[in-house]
Structure 1
Amino acid sequence: MPSMVALLGLLAAAGFQNRDKIAEVLGGLKQGAGAGPGATNAPAGQGGVLGNLGGFAGGAGIGSVLSGGLRDLIERFRQNGQGDAAESWVKPGPNQTLAPNQLEQAIGPDVLESLSEKTGLSREELLSRLSRELPTAVDKLTPEGRLPTEDEAARLI
């Protein structure tokens, strides 16, 4: 689940349209994986919200965070009654939208609390941003209509 939280946090903070910033943060985490306890390893200038998300990835590579995060995200949505919406984002065709309250149900209060703590964004702001960004991001990260492997995911960002 840490990969899912990191993915959601990065999408909420930067938005998929800024995927270059997401790649920088995740790339910096991989390069600095041995930097020592408590280090976020975010590239210079990436402090604040993006830098605070570093601890969730735990030094994992970009492909691992994306593929694992997507897998965990889709599974969580299935378990919490929003599997059809999540599947529409993965498969070719139109993406189903979710209202913030539906997204809150699918993500769960524990993940929202973690995201709020790490990003400094309110629950309402997180839900607003994610309901706007998540369908497009998942759609773009699953161009083959299926969840990507770690190698495929690393090439998508």
Structure 2
Amino acid sequence: MTNLANIVEILAKQALGGQQQQQNNQGLGGLLGGVLGQLTGQSSNTQGNRQQSNQSAGLGGILGSVLGQLGGRSTTNVGSASGGSGKAILIAVLPIVLAWIQKNGGIEGALSKLKNAGLNRQVDDWVDTGPGENLPVDPNQVQSLFDDQDIEQVAEQTATPKQDVYGAIAGVLPQIIDALTPDGPKTNQQEANNDIQDVLNLVSGFLRR
């Protein structure tokens, strides 16, 4: 098993901020539900309040749209959301990064794509199991990797400049690659790919409630 769930949990707790403690005992699903509930205007405390239509707006609509593209389903044109910034945007770009990894053939294909983009040194550092912080990546270095339409959608729905969306991707990407390769080059790639799908299913499951 990889450390992806741990990283997602950390990001969710950061996004929840002051509400972190009340979510701590609910597990990863509760944490993600809390973040998505906040940003979609839903309550994450009761099942009845989690009902969401296909016309849902805000961050939930963005995530649903990305997941819909992953599954080959048509996307829904969602309404505008209230401003999203800071740590919450990291949750908004999370499924885009995970979907991008899947679209490039899983963790192995994604690593090759990143290296072909000139990020050899960064990728080797992220995969390495040694101590120390992950090498940073410049937002400009990831722009060519992601679909501009997806980025524009996130920027519009979270009222965030596109450059800030790329900045969030650049901030999350090293953490995700690091988390998906706990054993370095010897990491079980199938486990990594399964964990990616599990997180996407978790998000998708919340959005369908």
Residue deviations 1:24-68 (CA, integer Å, cap 9, x gap): 8xxxxxxxxxxxxxxxxxx96583111010133227xx9x93993
Q: CA, structure 1 residues 52+155, in 2 after alignment: closer, same or farther (shift >3 Å)? A: closer
- Given that residues 100 and 131 in structure 1 are in contact (C-alpha distance below 8 angstroms), is that contact kept between their aligned partners in structure 2? yes
SS at match of 2:105: helix
2:168 to 124, 129, 132: 129
Q: CA, structure 1 residues 155+52, in 2 after alignment: closer, same or farther (shift >3 Å)? A: closer
Tell me whether 1:84 sits opposite 2:78 in the alignment: no
Match of 2:194 in 1: 154
Q: Give the aligned CA root-mean-square deviation in angstroms.
A: 3.9
- In structure 2, the gaps of 5 or more residues are 1-6, 14-27, 33-49, 53-58, 73-97, 200-209
Question: For residues 100-111 of structure 1, what are the structure 2 equivalents within 5 Å?
Answer: 100-104=139-143, 108=144, 111=146
Q: CA, structure 1 residues 17+66, in 2 after alignment: closer, same or farther (shift >3 Å)? A: farther
SS at match of 1:50: helix
- Given that residues 139 and 167 in structure 2 are in contact (C-alpha distance below 8 angstroms), is that contact kept between their aligned partners in structure 1? yes
State percent identity of aligned pairs.
21
TM-score by length of 1: 0.56
Match of 1:73 in 2: 110
Q: Give the number of aligned pairs.
A: 119
- Given that residues 107 and 189 in structure 2 are in contact (C-alpha distance below 8 angstroms), is that contact kept between their aligned partners in structure 1? no
Question: For residues 7-156 of structure 1, what are the structure 2 equivalents within 5 Å?
Answer: 17-18=11-12, 20=28, 45=52, 47-58=60-71, 65=102, 68-93=105-130, 94=132, 95-104=134-143, 108=144, 111-120=146-155, 122-146=161-185, 148-155=188-195
